[in-house]
């Protein structure tokens, strides 16, 4: 394996197999494959009472979490390490700390997945956060409370065309926590770990705002890249350098964990869905701008249509108009302000920037709130909906040279470094994939092109083997009919006069395949009844 050879050439001589017995273990743990979700990402890594949970985690996520390193530091291993996802629910002893959890996860990975890793250091790309030439433009905090960062709402009633920014207000944050926070909030810019080398002790208060990576070109002179924001607003420097980093080489690991204990259901019963403790719902002001945030145990939305909350609560693709049946028109047009507070027994996700209600718990709570306050009656049933089959026309696929490389896709240029987004910003999506079968390409389209593809794609090509490719296309919001898209409004495959390219055209032109439309039965949400006016607060 090419990557492994380079890795071991750089690995420090202090490498050692991580097979030693670890001293801490979960009392009992439930490990299983994660259910499908339209937007998979790891969340959890939290203790609630005597329970620990971590969901939608790849093996790379699990190793990175157990050893307290960035996922980019985990190298090698079998091809599935970045695709398979797992849920972990576990019981922990009293007074378990976050450091204890890391040791418990290491034990679980060894015992349940038979993981063996080797550790060392290697020079790798890293964003270094350092002190600027003058004094920091932040206020040192003397508050002993826990550090947190809260996104701030946009200004009310902005003028047309006004620039939009991401703004966060942080309190009691260490510089190490700031490095993590920047990586979490500004991931569009920071595709490598951020390491604190400021040598600034204590905790700090500050507010920082910047332009999202996808909006930077559109905002022109008003745009603020994250690097300029850190420099001008915080008095710090954020630069990409090569620096020694701890790295982990996966020597071996099992894809299927050992079975759960026979009494797992009794020892770790599922939490019953819990409603919000307090909920206030009121109609939005006519010109109010849409906004939503989660702060600790509170959820606040402004000018959000109920349709958005339904698609989130039932984990539906918001682009798929067929996923909800019998939806009245007002679901998209009538907007509400909602302030809700969760009870103390609701699971939370721990992040460097603070705590948030766990997404799965939040979905359950939203379903309960909508069902009760809007008197909604519903059921799920299979109905024929739009689906696609990949068929071969004139395949232009490059066979994978190294079949041991991980199966994965990333946003950005391939090995040749070519980036068509620079010359043609309308082609704002660039997907680089390696070691993918055709069936896996079809699976990936549900996640990376969910503005076009809403349901599983069937492989009808008859093509075997694995392939490397890049796919350049325009996101659906730049091409579909309701955004002024294709010249032929009835056909999202047709070319767009502004140079946009649908994923259908991109797959045809660049891969020599075709996404053929058909109808297949899939579960949809059927609304039997819903009231436009919520019950009284």
Q: Where are the domains of the chain?
A: 2-122+245-266, 135-234, 278-379+524-529, 395-511
Per the document, the length of the chain is 537
CA separation for the pair 230, 250 (Å, rounded): 35
- Of the candidates 348, 321, 470, 252, the one whose C-alpha atom is nearest the C-alpha of residue 45 is 348
CA distances from residue 435 to 35, 93, 411, 440 in whole angstroms, order as listed: 23, 42, 15, 9
Asked if residues 86 and 253 have their Cβ atoms less than 8 Å apart, the reply is no
Q: What is the pLDDT of residue 348?
A: 66
b/e 80-95 (16+ beta carbons within 10 angstroms → b): ebbbbbbbbbbbbeee
Q: What is the pLDDT of residue 337?
A: 93
CA separation for the pair 60, 83 (Å, rounded): 9
- Of the candidates 366, 380, 224, 382, the one whose C-alpha atom is nearest the C-alpha of residue 304 is 366
CA distances from residue 250 to 8, 102, 164 in whole angstroms, order as listed: 12, 17, 42
CA separation for the pair 83, 40 (Å, rounded): 10
- Name the phi and psi angles at 384, rounded to 5: -65, 125
- Look up residue 296 and give its DSSP letter: B
- In which order are the strands placed within the sheet that holds 148-151? 139-141, 203-210, 166-173, 148-151
Helix (H) or strand (E) holding 120: strand 116-131
- Look up residue 423 and give its DSSP letter: H
The residues facing 58 across adjacent strands are 85
Q: What is the pLDDT of residue 347?
A: 65
Asked if residues 149 and 173 have their Cβ atoms less than 8 Å apart, the reply is yes
CA separation for the pair 537, 280 (Å, rounded): 6
- Residue 391 has a CB neighbour count (10 Å cut-off) of 15
Q: What is the pLDDT of residue 160?
A: 73
- Residue 388 has a CB neighbour count (10 Å cut-off) of 23
pTM of the complete model = 0.76
CA separation for the pair 507, 390 (Å, rounded): 10
- Of the candidates 151, 199, 149, the one whose C-alpha atom is nearest the C-alpha of residue 178 is 149
The residues facing 409 across adjacent strands are 433
Asked if residues 361 and 274 have their Cβ atoms less than 8 Å apart, the reply is yes
Burial of residue 199 (number of CB atoms within 10 Å: 0-12, 13-18, 19+): exposed
Number of H helices, E strands in the chain: 13, 26
Asked if residues 474 and 429 have their Cβ atoms less than 8 Å apart, the reply is yes
Three-state DSSP class for residue 110? helix
CA separation for the pair 333, 441 (Å, rounded): 36
CA separation for the pair 170, 436 (Å, rounded): 41
**Over the chain (537 residues), what is each successive 10-residue block's mean pLDDT?**
31 37 83 88 83 92 91 91 95 90 96 94 90 92 83 77 88 92 88 91 95 83 94 96 88 97 91 78 87 80 93 91 95 93 71 63 88 96 96 95 91 87 89 94 90 93 95 87 39 60 95 96 96 93
């Amino acid at each position: 394996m090419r990557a492994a050879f380079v890795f071991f050439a750089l690995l420090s001589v202090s490498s050692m197999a991580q097979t030693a017995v670890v001293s801490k273990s979960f009392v009992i743990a439930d490990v299983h494959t994660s259910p499908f979700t339209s937007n998979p990402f790891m969340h959890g890594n939290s203790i609630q009472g005597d329970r620990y949970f971590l969901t939608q985690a790849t093996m790379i996520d699990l190793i990175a979490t157990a050893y307290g390193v960035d996922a980019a530091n985990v190298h090698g291993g079998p091809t599935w390490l970045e695709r398979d996802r797992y849920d972990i629910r576990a019981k922990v002893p009293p007074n378990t700390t976050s450091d204890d959890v890391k040791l418990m996860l290491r034990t679980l990975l060894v015992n349940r997945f038979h993981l063996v890793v080797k550790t060392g250091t290697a020079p790798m790309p890293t964003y270094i956060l350092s002190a600027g030439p003058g004094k920091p433009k932040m206020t040192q905090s003397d508050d002993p409370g826990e550090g947190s960062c809260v996104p701030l709402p946009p200004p009310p009633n902005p003028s047309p065309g006004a620039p939009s920014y991401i703004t966060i207000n942080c309190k009691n944050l260490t510089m190490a926590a700031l490095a993590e926070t920047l990586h979490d909030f500004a991931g569009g810019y920071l595709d490598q770990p951020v390491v604190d080398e400021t040598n600034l002790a204590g905790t700090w208060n500050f507010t920082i705002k910047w332009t999202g990576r996808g909006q930077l070109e559109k905002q022109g002179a008003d745009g603020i890249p994250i690097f300029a924001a850190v420099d001008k607003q915080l008095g710090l420097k954020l630069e990409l350098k090569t620096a020694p980093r701890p790295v982990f080489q996966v020597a071996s690991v099992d894809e299927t964990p050992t079975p759960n204990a026979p009494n797992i259901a009794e020892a770790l019963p599922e939490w019953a869905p819990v409603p919000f403790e307090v909920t206030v719902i009121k109609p939005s002001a006519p010109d109010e701008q849409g906004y939503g945030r989660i702060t600790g145990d509170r959820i606040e939305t402004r000018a959000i249509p109920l349709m958005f909350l339904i698609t989130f609560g039932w984990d539906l693709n918001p682009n798929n108009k067929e996923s909800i049946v019998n939806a009245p028109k007002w679901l998209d047009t009538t907007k509400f302000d909602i302030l809700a507070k969760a009870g103390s027994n609701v699971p939370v996700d721990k992040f460097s920037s603070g705590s948030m209600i766990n997404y799965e718990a939040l979905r359950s709570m939203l379903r309960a709130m909508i069902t009760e306050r809007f008197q909604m009656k519903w059921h799920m049933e299979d109905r024929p909906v739009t689906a696609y089959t990949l068929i071969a026309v004139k395949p232009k696929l490059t066979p994978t040279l190294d079949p041991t490389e991980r199966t994965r896709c990333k946003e950005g240029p391939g090995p040749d470094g070519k980036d068509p987004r620079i010359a043609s910003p309308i082609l704002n999506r660039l997907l680089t994939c390696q070691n993918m079968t055709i069936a896996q390409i079809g699976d990936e389209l549900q996640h990376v092109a969910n503005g076009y593809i809403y349901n599983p794609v069937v492989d009808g090509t008859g093509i075997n083997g694995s392939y490397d490719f890049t796919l350049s296309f325009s996101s659906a919001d730049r091409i579909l009919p309701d955004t002024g898209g294709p010249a032929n409004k009835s056909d999202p495959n047709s070319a767009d006069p502004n140079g946009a390219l649908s994923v259908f055209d991109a797959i045809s032109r660049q891969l020599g395949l075709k996404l053929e439309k058909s109808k297949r039965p899939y579960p949809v949400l059927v609304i039997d009844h819903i009231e436009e006016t919520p019950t009284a607060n």
